[in-house]
Amino acid sequence: MVEWAWWAGIVAKNPEMADRILLTIDVDTVSQDMRNGARLWRQGVASSRGQVAKADSIGKEIGTYWAEGLIDRVMRSVVPMFDPSKEELFELKEQVLAWDTTNQYVSPHSVNEGHYGEIRALMLGSLAARLGDDTELETQISYLANKPDAETPGEPSFVFAKTLRAVRAWYLKENDQVLAELENSQMFTNDVCAVCSRVHAQTINRFMRAEILFSCGEYDDALKWYNSLWDGNLTWGSDHLGTTYLRTAAVHEERGESELAAQYYAKFIDLWKESDPKYQGLVDQARQREQQIRTGQFAEDDQLIIPVQPSN
């Protein structure tokens, strides 16, 4: 039923419809696993629309039995446009530390069984990078580097250590180092797992690569990576759909393709029109930019609506 709801709502490119369909599955008459699956999809739909409070509420309903709800909240914290407070980041850290890795699993299709310590290190390291805690970040990298399979390409400890080194370089704006770490960092997985988990889909790796290519003016390659983040799947790439629309609009602006730029700003406005109040400023900026394009009246200060790289 969950797969049917995904195709009915997501492929139709209608997040609101998908949410309504999935809500009908989140009832007591179906199994707990089925309910949690529906909640994960609903969490992704909410994230795609900038409704973080709703997404977090759904994630907490999932609890820590399905760690993907927790992973969703941690990985969203790295995305610049969401800009969580330090209090929120510390709260997430406490939840990660409380995650019982001896009695939980990541997703029903996980190829990472037995690697929960590595997954927790990835989450703690990502939060440490966002908080500017170099000591904690290095602790998690060292933990991963000392695992038995740390030198084996494709294995979780090898991949996650490279990811955390890339995240550290990203915050330092050392783009060449980011790209160097992302080379040969593909996890050995399969298509089913890539759909079922952020960990397998390596969304943060894809996002950093897309942002760097965008900042270097390599727009065609950047847009390929942005679109690979969600590619119609509003669960594991949901955090990046809004960014994808804004970056695509900016590319068309740069190329003088005004009508296409306006269309993508309009897509973002429609997607985020019911986002949380703290994000309505982004919607207002996009609306202003769309109007400027359609009227030909551009502001002198033509900055991006969201920064290419975050600060901590």
Please report, for the chain, the start and end positions of each structural domain, with discontinuous segments joined by +.
86-100+109-201, 213-296
Q: Which of 122-126, 192-196, 217-221, 292-296 has the lowest mean pLDDT?
A: 192-196
Q: Which two tokens stand for residue 245?
A: 């629309």
What's the whole-number mean pLDDT along residues 170-174? Answer: 89
pTM: 0.81
The CA distance from 81 to 56, in Å, is 16
pLDDT of res. 46: 87
- The CATH number, out of the four listed (1.25.40, 2.30.30, 2.30.29, 3.30.43), of the domain defined by the range 213-296: 1.25.40
Look at 96 and 189; give whichever has higher pLDDT. 96
Q: pLDDT tens digit string along 216-261?
A: 899 999 998 888 876 555 456 678 888 889 999 999 988 989 999 9
| Sign of the CA dihedral with 274 first, then 81, 240, and 27 last | negative
Provide the pLDDT for residue 128: 95
Residue 268 or 98, more confident:
268
The answer to whether residue 181 scores a pLDDT higher than 50 is yes
Q: What is the pLDDT of residue 311?
A: 57
Q: Residue 229's pLDDT is what?
A: 79
pLDDT of residue 98: 83
Looking at residue 206, its pLDDT comes to 86
Percent of the chain at pLDDT above 90?
A: 33
Mean pLDDT of 98-108: 57
Average confidence (pLDDT) over 119-130: 92
**How confident is residue 57, by pLDDT bands cut at 50, 70 and 90?**
confident
